[in-house]
Amino acid sequence: MINPAIAMKLMAAKNAFTNNHPKFVAFLSAVFGSGIPEDTIIEITVTKPGQAPITSNIKVKQEDLELMETFKEMAGAR
């Protein structure tokens, strides 16, 4: 069972993130809202100030989808 104080803290942090980065949150909703099929490539690039960008990617496997489903079930079981 989740501690109510921690849950409130997480919700406040989520709300602050959404307010600070509304375009990114909308992007995530558009991409992940319709589901991610197996063999989808997810790529991320991080560019730190004054440094060259670093990029990595993953090809989504069935095991990854099963793990995400488990996380969803855990989040819903309160």
The domain tally of the chain equals: 2
* Better-predicted residue by pLDDT, 76 or 27: 27
- Residue 57 pLDDT > 50, yes or no? yes
22-50 residue pLDDT tens: 999 899 889 888 889 999 999 999 999 99
Residues 10 and 46 occupy one common structural domain: no
Q: How confident is the model at residue 78 (pLDDT cuts 50, 70, 90)?
A: very low
Helices (H), 1-78: 4-20, 22-33, 62-76
Residues 41 and 22 occupy one common structural domain: no
Q: What angle do CA 34, 39, 45 make, to 5 degrees?
A: 80
Residues 44 and 67 occupy one common structural domain: yes
Give the separation between CA 38 and CA 19, rounded to whole angstroms. Answer: 31
Domain extent, residue 70, equals 36-78
Residues 5 and 28 occupy one common structural domain: yes
13-23 residue pLDDT tens: 989 999 999 99
